[in-house]
Amino acid sequence: MDYAVLKAVDFRVSRFALGTWSFSGSRNWGPNDEKESIETIHMAMDLGVNFIDSAPKYNDGAAEVILGKAIKGRRDKVIVATKAYTDELTRDGMAKACDASLKRLASDYIDLYQVHWPSRTIPFPETMAAFEKLKTAGKIRAIGVCNYGVKCVEGLKGHAVATNQLPYSLLWRQIEDEIIPKSRSQEISIWPYCPLAQGLLTGKFKNIDDVPLPRRNVRFYSGAWKQGLHSDGGFEKEIFDFLPKLQAAADKAGLPMAALALAFLRDRPGVDSVLVGARSREQLRDNIKMFETRIPPETMAEAIRLSDDLKPKMGKNPDLWQSENGGRFF
Active site members: 58
Residue among 207, 203, 285 nearest 250 (CA): 203
Kindly tell me which of 21 and 249 has the beta carbon lying closer to ligand NAP. 21
User: Interface with ligand NAP by CB under 6 A: which range of 16-24, 72-80, 119-127, 229-237?
Assistant: 16-24
Residue among 295, 298, 311, 310 nearest 255 (CA): 295
Q: Does residue 255 belong to the site contacting ligand NAP (CB under 6 A)?
A: no
Q: Does residue 306 belong to the site contacting ligand NAP (CB under 6 A)?
A: no
User: Interface with ligand NAP by CB under 6 A: which range of 7-15, 21-29, 40-48, 222-230?
Assistant: 21-29
CA distances from 181 to 20, 163, 165, 175, 211 (A): 28, 13, 14, 9, 33
User: Interface with ligand NAP by CB under 6 A: which range of 14-22, 131-139, 226-234, 304-312?
Assistant: 14-22
Kindly tell me which of 261 and 298 has the beta carbon lying closer to ligand NAP. 261
CA 139 to chain centre: 23
Residue 55: CB minimum distance to ligand NAP, A? 7
Residue 136, C-beta contacts closer than 8 angstroms, at least 6 positions apart: none
- Pick out residues in 74-103 that bind ligand NAP (CB under 6 A): none
Residue 57: CB minimum distance to ligand NAP, A? 8
Residues near ligand NAP (CB under 6 A), total: 28
Residue 204: CB minimum distance to ligand NAP, A? 5
* DSSP assignment string, 218-285: STTS-GGG--SS--S--SHHHHHHHHHHHHHHHHHHT--HHHHHHHHHHTSTTBS-EEE--SSHHHHH
Residue 144: CB minimum distance to ligand NAP, A? 9
* H or E segment to which residue 209 belongs: none
Q: Are 148 and 183 in contact (CB under 8 A)?
A: yes
**Residue from 62, 211, 278, 310 binding ligand NAP (CB under 6 A):** 278
**Residue from 194, 246, 249, 303 binding ligand NAP (CB under 6 A):** 194
**Residue from 61, 149, 234, 277 binding ligand NAP (CB under 6 A):** 277
Q: Does residue 193 belong to the site contacting ligand NAP (CB under 6 A)?
A: yes
Q: Does residue 20 belong to the site contacting ligand NAP (CB under 6 A)?
A: yes
Q: What SS3 string covers 153-164?
A: HHCCCCCCEEEE
d(CA 263, CA 81) in angstroms, rounded, equals 23
Through-space distance between the first and last CA atoms of the chain, rounded to whole angstroms: 35
CA distances from 291 to 51, 106, 194, 324 (A): 15, 30, 14, 35
- Pick out residues in 208-247 that bind ligand NAP (CB under 6 A): none
Kindly tell me which of 87 and 298 has the beta carbon lying closer to ligand NAP. 87
Kindly tell me which of 249 and 275 has the beta carbon lying closer to ligand NAP. 275
Q: Does residue 275 belong to the site contacting ligand NAP (CB under 6 A)?
A: yes
Q: Where on the chain is the footprint of ligand NAP (CB under 6 A)? A: 19-22, 29, 53, 116, 146-147, 165, 193-199, 202, 204, 258, 275-279, 283, 286-287
